[in-house]
Amino acid sequence: MNPTVVLSTAVAVAAAAYAFKPKKKTELEAKSVPIPEPKSYLPLQIDTVVSYIYNLLRGQDELEMLLKDMKVHGNTINFKGFNDDFIVVTDPSSIQHILAKNQPNYEKGPFFKEIFHDFLGSGIFNADGDTWKSQRQIARPHFQTSEFKDAALINKHVDGLLVLIDKHIATKPDTPLEVQSVFCRFTLDEASEFLFGATVDALKNEQTEFSTAFNYAQTMTAWRFRIPFWKYILPRRRMMTEIKKLDDFVYKIIDDARARQAARAQEKKESGKENEEEEDGRRDTLLDHFLSQQDEDGFDSKYLRDMLLNFLLAGRDTTASLLSWTTWKLVQHPKVLEKLYQEIVQVIGPDRVPGYEDIKKLKYQKQVINEVLRLCPPVPINPRESVEEDVLPNGYYIPAGSAVSYCAYATHRLPELWGDDALEFDPDRWGPERVGKIRPFMFVPFHAGPRICLGQNLAYTTAQLALTRLLQRYDIKASPGFEPHQLGDIVMFSRNGVEVLISHKRPASEF
């Protein structure tokens, strides 16, 4: 008999025996409730795994697939694949348990870290324990409101955004503008200058080497979550080539920052003013902030590279997603758009450039943005891994070492939380009469608990300033026949962009 056949058969039998071997329940598991699972008819849930990947490749919306499964199995589901647990929770009590009450038990975990490591290394969003705590503690002061409340840096890049839109109107006045890609370029420029002190110049050049590599690395990382045995299927050589381009750009910025820091230190030493605070009007970047906080051993360049790319991923994509879906919702609801514009005119005026204090007065605008964040959370699903076995508040058992995700997209749409109109876009639900009904952990677009997003105030400020100036300057309408197809990726975008018709507002004297 062929030895290869014998060996293969033995391995297959051993694997099957292991997979179907009865496992003794722990005491905690015996007292708990097993999580509902979608039916599977083949060993190791092969049929459900293949069906899931097939539907994704056909372009089906995996978030809507999840909502359909919830209607059958309830708000906590275990999507087993190859006998591994992939648990999704959506009820606020379970989310609170995972993110706050028993947060130490739910880490990023080895599975998540391995998938993201090539792209994000050991940065804050791919770290646990002391590594995460250290980076967060150092970064927190830089994201305080005082760092960006003058709005000068944000408005600088909004200026570039308006230039790009003006050019489109001048050259293609009757052609829809795909704003999602434009917003990604805008937030990439703003975030890179806020973090690095060096803009990528994506608004001036749509296909910069950095932005192209960044987009590719993010897309391939997202597919690693979806495909079993991704190491043997997805193209690693191309992935590492694109990451090398990111590294070259970021390491040069780090070297330049170190050189600037050394030059300033030498200048102060020679002037005899080593202990005096600098008052040259220079705005420190996040990179400068980390360099100034390092101990005598210093941070190595790999540590700084990981930190910067982690914050760039969060700073660029989440705000671009928010602006894209806000634009789409507004053109679908012209009355909301008009009410929003009238508030801007009354509070700020038709053409005055707003500052940080101005946008804080735009109460209805904040309601609109929160409603967009509810229906279209930039991070629709957030994965964790259980360290030890646990029981959720609803009684469901979580085995140790299980993948456990909470899905903000689904939670934000539950009728039992938001009412029968949960799927409707209604900014008034955030008004003073109704906002009191929104309980903790019902609304988690920026995460919650100890790992709540450091940049949420910056995201709100950027989105509000950009939206205010866009509506002051342009009329925005729906593009006939266009419909976005949402993509539940690392960040929720539309797979076919967001197209709108845009034109300059007519002066009041013309009416």
Digitized pLDDT (tens) for each residue of the chain, 511 residues in all: 454 443 344 344 444 544 554 567 898 888 888 999 998 888 888 888 888 888 888 888 889 999 999 999 999 999 988 888 999 999 999 999 999 999 999 999 888 889 999 999 988 888 888 888 888 888 888 887 655 666 889 999 999 999 999 999 999 999 999 999 999 999 999 998 988 888 888 999 887 888 889 889 988 998 888 777 788 888 899 999 999 999 999 999 999 888 888 888 778 777 766 555 555 555 678 888 888 876 555 688 998 999 999 988 888 889 999 999 999 999 999 999 999 999 999 999 999 999 999 999 999 999 999 999 999 999 999 999 999 999 999 999 999 999 999 999 999 999 999 999 999 999 999 999 999 999 999 999 999 999 988 888 999 999 999 999 999 999 999 999 999 999 887 889 999 999 999 999 876 544 4
Q: Which residues of 204-222 are buried (b: 16+ CB within 10 A; e: fewer)?
A: eeeebebbebbbbbbebbe
Determine if residue 490 is left, alpha or beta; phi over 0 gives left, psi from -120 to 50 gives alpha, anything else beta: alpha
In eight-state DSSP terms, residue 414 is -
- Which two three-digit tokens encode residue 118? 């090539």
Smallest Cα–Cα separation from 294: which of 101, 134, 71, 128? 134
Q: Each residue of 442-478: b (16+ CB within 10 Å) or e?
A: bbbbbbbbebebbbebbbbbbbbbbbbbbbbbbebeb
Rounded distance between C-alpha atoms, residue 123 and residue 309, angstroms: 8
Q: For residues 410 and 70, is the Cβ–Cβ distance under 8 A?
A: yes
Question: What pLDDT is attached to residue 9?
Answer: 42
- Per CATH, 24-120+380-408 and 136-273+281-377+412-510 having the same topology is answered no
The predicted pLDDT at position 350 comes to 95
User: Do the Cβ atoms of 331 and 500 come closer than 8 Å?
Assistant: yes
CATH class of the region 136-273+281-377+412-510: mainly alpha
What's the rounded Cα separation, in Å, for the pair 52 and 19? 21
CA distances from 464 to 77, 105, 150, 368, 430 (A): 36, 36, 14, 10, 16
Any known ligand binding at 184? Answer: no
Q: Where are the domains of the chain?
A: 24-120+380-408, 136-273+281-377+412-510
By CB atoms closer than 10 A (0-12, 13-18, 19+), residue 510 is exposed
The gap from C-alpha 368 to its chain's centroid, in whole angstroms, comes to 19
Helix and strand numbers, DSSP H then E, in the chain:
19, 12
Output b/e per residue, 258-295; b: 16+ Cβ within 10 A. eeeeeeeeeeeeeeeeeeeeeeeeeeebbbbbbbeeee
Max Cα–Cα distance, the chain, nearest Å? 93
Tell which residue, 426, 476, 436, has the closest CA to residue 165. Answer: 476
- Burial group, residue 168, by CB count within 10 angstroms (0-12, 13-18, 19+): middle
Residue 242 tokens read as 């694109």
Paired tokens of 471: 């509506």
Q: Cβ(470)–Cβ(179) under 8 Å?
A: no
Report whether 315 contacts 125 (CB < 8 A): no
Q: What is the model's pLDDT at position 229?
A: 78
Q: Supply the CATH classification number for the domain 24-120+380-408.
A: 3.30.43.20
Confirm if 29 and 397 have CB atoms less than 8 A apart. Answer: yes
> What confidence score (pLDDT) does residue 22 get?
52
The radius of gyration computed from the CA coordinates of the chain, to the nearest angstrom, equals 25
Judge contact between 500 and 476, C-beta under 8 A: yes
Which residues partner with 478 through β-bridges?
500
User: For residues 209 and 345, what is the distance between their CA atoms, to the nearest angstrom?
Assistant: 40
Which pLDDT score, from 0 to 100, does residue 195 have?
Answer: 86
Residue type, 122: S
